[in-house]
Copies of this chain bind each other. A is one copy, B any other.
Amino acid sequence: MSNRIITPVKEFEDLLPQEYKDLVADGPFFAEKGVDDLGTFKEIMEQHPHCAGCGEALGMRLVLAGLPTPQDTLIIGTPGCSFFGLAQTALNYSNTAFGNQNAVASGLKRMLQIRYPDKHKDVVVMVGDGGIADIGLDYTLHSWFRKEKITTIMLDNEVYGNTGGQESGMSKEGKVLNMAPTGKKFPKIPVFELAKTSGCCYVAKVTIASPKKIGKVIRRAILIAREIGPTYVQLFTPCPTNLKFAPDQTLKVAKEAEKDYYPFEEFISDDAAAYLAKVEQAKGDGKS
């Protein structure tokens, strides 16, 4: 998107809502912003109906702040709580049938490559754990097998949040949830490992307790997806409502998970690493 498109025509500026003007004046479209800059610029997500203390909302906020080029970023979603925040975000956001996200993203990315051969249009899938690991697993893996140049971000709250707290494939073993009345019978689906096996060039696992890492990881994932191949970020974003802890405990839960079973992990394929070294050096990135 060229800046011309969002720049208000002087004569009509006063007709535009304040929010829009703020986005133009202080948003991340004209001047590059990152997670580090939060609190000092107008974020592209606005007032969403997520529960108080929602880890997923926080996760999305951090991811959105980390987008390297929001003005050319397209978000593909799917039903799930993430819908609420993403529908309130000043980016093209699409959400159709549950689990189809990586198939939709494949078609979209290819069409954008046809229509804008000289531009990077970053197609980013951002959806829940259920959407990726359960109903959408086939489409997720096949987009990776096919080496689609898209970034897939799992907002892993270890439960079906939006439909009221049912077991997800990413729920922890033994956890009692709706539709798992006697506790979940199998461990978290190893999507991180599957991603490595299935052709992802960059795979990272991180929690909302590490906001700056999120910024870095998202940037890497998107840049690598532009040039090398599919990338995957698994973000732990606990759900106070359905995992039934107090809303002010969300970060504590994330921090404990980070120590306990959700450590930061990063996998970079050789070609991705080479590419990354090049761009991060050029940008002076990667030191943070």
State the A residues within 8 Å of B (CB): 134-135, 137-138, 141-142, 145-147, 169, 185-186, 189-190, 193-194, 197-199
Contacts and interface: CB of A to CB of B under 8 A. Distances in A.
Nearest to A188: B145
Contact of A137 (B135, B141, B169): B141
A31 to B, nearest CB: 39
Contact of A190 (B137, B138, B186, B197): B197
Contacts of A135: 138
A146 B197 contact: no
A185 B199 CA distance: 12
Closest 7 CB pairs of A and B: A138-B138, A137-B138, A193-B197, A145-B186, A190-B197, A145-B189, A146-B186
Contact of A142 (B142, B169, B193): B169
Contacts of A134: 142
A194 B193 CA distance: 9
Contact of A197 (B145, B147, B197, B199): B197
A268 B147 CA distance: 31
A142 B134 CA distance: 8
With a 10 A CB-CB cut-off, give which of A134, A185, A197, A199 has the most chain B CB atoms: A197
